[in-house]
Amino acid sequence: MWSLPPSDTVLHLLSMVAFAAQAMTAALAAGRRSMDWVGVCLLGCITALGGGTIRDVLLGHYPLLWVANPSYLALTAVAAFVTILIARVVHRLNLAFLVLDAIGLVVFTMAGCDIAWQMNESLPIVIVSGMITGCAGGVLRDILCNDVPLLFRSELYASVSAVTGLFYATAFGLKVNDEIWTALTFVFGLSFRLLAIRYKWEMPKFVFNDERR
């Protein structure tokens, strides 16, 4: 049986940053839709914690992340509310939030992979678990804001999560230093996502026109 990945303090700290960043980006999206303050905080919580919640429900992993750790719920709600107060400043930090969003994608993907391995799931389920954790919150945010989810556009997003998860999972059966591999995966996934943004790497588009001539 594959060895289980140990808890990683660095990964945990990065997760805290990712939770706050995801909640703040969701708050900005809520502001563009003129939601009230309660709606802003709810959307922040759903975006930051939604991916992990869906993963836990599908895998039967209980208690849910935010039920076991109510502090996560408080963190995301507060981060969203603070964004209301400093929205004009935050709005100008577009580059910073692109980086923070990329950090969230990579860190959540690794965390999802960890949970699936701890439950002795197969490699394909581990990869999917990482993708759900990394991407599903953003999908929920976009749906609730009546936008086409970023996941379903041509921009590399889910692909980054899948490749990052596969890279991370290869270490589970190898005798390598866990902290070093976590750091390598983080740098790899973050670089991949930022390069995709910088050079506008995209997946092929499917364009179908049913007009008959």
What stretches of the chain show up as alpha helix (H) in DSSP? 9-32, 37-59, 65-68, 70-85, 87-91, 94-118, 123-144, 158-169, 178-198
pLDDT for 212 equals 59
**Lowest-confidence region among 76-80, 81-85, 139-143, 181-185:** 181-185
Placement of tokens 């936008």 in the chain: 147
Placement of tokens 């995966």 in the chain: 185
**Nearest CA among 35, 10, 16 for reference residue 145:** 35
pLDDT digits (tens, 9 = 90+) for 22-77: 999 899 889 989 999 999 999 999 999 999 999 999 999 999 999 999 999 999 99
Residue 41: half-sphere exposure toward Cβ, Cα within 13 Å = 12
The H or E element spanning position 62 is none
Report whether pLDDT(83) > 70. Answer: yes
User: What mean pLDDT, rounded, does the chain reach?
Assistant: 87
pLDDT digits (tens, 9 = 90+) for 160-178: 999 999 999 888 777 777 7
**Lowest-confidence region among 2-11, 163-172, 201-210:** 2-11
The pLDDT-based confidence of 110 (bands split at 50, 70, 90) is very high
The pLDDT-based confidence of 213 (bands split at 50, 70, 90) is low
Rounding to the nearest 10 degrees, give the CA dihedral for residues 126, 180, 11, 50. -30
Percentage of residues in the chain having pLDDT higher than 90: 57
In angstroms, rounded to a whole number, what is the distance separating the alpha carbons of residues 163 and 161? 6
User: Mean pLDDT across the stretch 7-30?
Assistant: 84
pLDDT for 88 equals 80
Which residues are CB-neighbours of 155 under 8 A, at least 6 positions away? 196, 197, 200, 201, 202, 203
**Nearest CA among 187, 173, 44, 57 for reference residue 110:** 187
pLDDT for 12 equals 80
pLDDT for 1 equals 33
The pLDDT-based confidence of 202 (bands split at 50, 70, 90) is confident
User: What interhelical angle do 37-59 and 70-85 show, nearest 10?
Assistant: 150
